[in-house]
Amino acid sequence: MLPTVRTLLFALLVPLLLIGTAQAASSLDEHPDHWPTHEDVQQALDEAHDHSWVTVHTLGYSNEDRIIRVAEITDPNASMPIEERAVTYLLTQQHGNEPAATPAALDLINDITNEERIQETLTNQILLILPMANPDGSDAFQRTNADGIDPNRDHIKLETPEAQAMHKVFTTWDVDVFLDHHEYGGTGPGNPAPVHIHDYDLTLLYPRHGNVPAPTLDAAQDLMYEGIWEAAEQEGYSVGYFGEIRVGGETVERIAGGADPGIARNHGGLHNAASLLIESRVDAHPNPFHDGERRIHIHAVVMESTLEHVHENHEYYTSARQASQHLASTFPDDTYHEGDTQAPFHDAYRFPNATNTWETLQAHGIHPGTETTHGIVHETGHTLHGHAGALLHPESSRAITTAAPTEPHATDPDEAINALGTDDTPLPPIIALIALLSAPFLTRHHRP
């Protein structure tokens, strides 16, 4: 198809497709009986807790006082030391009316305690499963939490108890791989029609915030293409990019999946984890092709292929995180990149000494900085450099305070290292080499 014809077709069809998308996304299945309730999830976690491989941790409570827990699962008898294992974090049901990944997660926990095939993947990794992140939303079968707030836009300010609970995983474990499971409304003509918009069984997307370090971004894309995408297609599912309108095989517009650091996918990348958005398709009017069991199976395929891929490449994923941390502290970005925003990124920022700002930075695992007579001075050259920018840079869409560039505060270097929670131990040679080789491409390298 000639470009001019493709453009014309796009112009004629997209307005109708966008209307269909809005309608479909707002009309997910009514709450069917077979979706697990919060009580079902807690019972499954209680039963799993009796297994020697499983430890269940309390992360917090929702506004309606429902408990939010995560299962930590690994082989206690494996020869690899715990601290050397890759950490994989699976998160489901941030949006309460997108339930299909929750039963897939509960099935996975059950399989781990019973099937050798799955158990083998945990000899060199720690699996963290949070099977219902928004229990109030699940109970009401709505996207938001009980206060009407979308927790998947709250991963910077951490104002909701749900986001606080989800984030506690990042500050408790060194997460190497992070999957955020969702569902979306399918619409638009698909094969054999040349226009594709939300018509895939499964859509995937990596972090798109520009300050995600190159090793982390590469690791996310490798997991997406070589682990999940390939496995899903082998199972007979169609796979595409989330949020893209494609005409004749080419992307003509991105209508979702931006750089917002308040979204979990981008937030995970800014935490140096190989982070991916996972979306199974939900039709506005369910048909036998996209029924509940099919949607659950799609998420099960994603989860199991991730475990297998990380198991086979665990050193790569742990090294990618460590290399990103090293790059962030040794070669920090001089530009803040968020969508179309490109602004100078300074070594230090001063902001008013406010309790809520101090507590938010600490909740992200970032030491707020040094108290001075003119406010707090935060030096950004540490392992969460890009994440600090999302919190403090004046051009960040989610800035938590009014911060201004300043000179770094004069302090003892050893004290500064300890305050930031970093480590001055030399990196292993291979990780240092990865970091050095990646430095020229930091935040700018991505696949089409």
Q: Could you tell me if residue 447 is inside a domain?
A: no
275 and 385 in a single domain? The answer is no
pLDDT attached to residue 44: 97
Last residue of one domain, picked from the residues 292, 313, 334? 313
Beta bridge partners of residue 343, listed in sequence order:
336
Supply φ then ψ for residue 244, to 5 degrees. Answer: -110, 145
Higher pLDDT, 115 or 441: 115
User: Quick one: pLDDT at residue 429?
Assistant: 55
| Same domain, residue pair 360 and 246 | no
Residues 290, 405 within the same domain: no
pLDDT band at 271 (very low <50, low <70, confident <90, very high): very high
Would you say residue 446 lies in a domain?
no
Number of folded domains that form the chain:
2
If asked whether residues 17 and 101 sit together in one domain, one would say yes
The model's pLDDT over 13-37, given as tens digits with 9 standing for 90+, comes to 444 444 344 333 433 455 455 799 9
**Same domain as 265, residue 357:** no
- The answer as to whether 318 is a domain residue is no
Are both 363 and 400 inside the same structural domain? yes
In a shared domain, residues 255 and 342? no
Query: Which has more confidence, 345 or 201?
Result: 345
Instruction: Give which of 411, 216, 406, 170 is closest to 326, Cα–Cα.
Output: 216
Lowest mean pLDDT among 4-18, 73-87, 268-282: 4-18
Element (H, E) at 86: strand 86-92
Q: Coil, helix or strand for 29?
A: coil
Residue 416: the pLDDT is: 38
41 plus 121 within the same structural domain: yes
Question: What is the rounded average pLDDT of the residues 119-136?
Answer: 97
Q: What is the pLDDT of residue 441?
A: 41
Domain for residue 419, yes or no?
yes
User: Quick one: 358 exposed, middle or buried, by C-beta within 10 A (0-12, 13-18, 19+)?
Assistant: middle
Question: Between 141 and 442, whose confidence is greater?
Answer: 141
**HSE toward the beta carbon, residue 215, CA cutoff 13 A:** 28
Dump strand ranges (E) for 177-221. Answer: 177-186, 195-197, 202-205
The answer to pTM > 0.85 is: yes
Give percent of the chain with pLDDT exceeding 90: 71
Q: How far apart are CA 418 and CA 87, in angstroms?
A: 24
Q: What is the pLDDT of residue 410?
A: 66
| Dihedral Cα 212, 213, 215, 219, nearest 10 deg | 0
Q: Do 61 and 119 fall within a single domain?
A: yes
Residue tagged 């099977």 (tokens): 131
What is the residue range of 290's domain?
3-313
Q: What CATH number corresponds to the domain at position 13?
A: 3.40.630.10
Last residue of a domain, one of 277, 292, 313: 313
Q: Is residue 448 part of a domain?
A: no
In a domain, 319, yes or no: no
For β-strands 274-283 and 202-205, DSSP reports them as: antiparallel
| Residue 386 is assigned to a structural domain of this protein | yes
Among 27-36, 251-260, 333-342, 435-444, the range of highest mean pLDDT:
333-342
Q: Is 333 in the same domain as 387? A: yes
Element (H, E) at 277: strand 274-283
pLDDT tens digits, one per residue of 181-234: 999 886 655 545 556 666 788 999 999 999 999 999 999 999 999 999 999 999
Q: Residue-wise over 221-246: b if at least 16 C-beta within 10 A, else e?
A: bbbbeebbbebbeeeebebbbbbbbb
Last residue of a domain, which of 313, 347, 381?
313
Rounded mean pLDDT of 400-408? 95
Q: In this structure, are 255 and 282 located in the same domain?
A: yes
Q: Which residue has the tokens 């009407």?
A: 148
pLDDT at 246: 77
Residues 308 and 389 in one domain: no
pLDDT tens-place string over residues 279-297: 998 875 555 556 889 999 9
The whole-angstrom separation of Cα 13 and Cα 175 is 42
* pLDDT of res. 108: 96
Average pLDDT value for residue range 82-101: 97
**19 within some domain:** yes
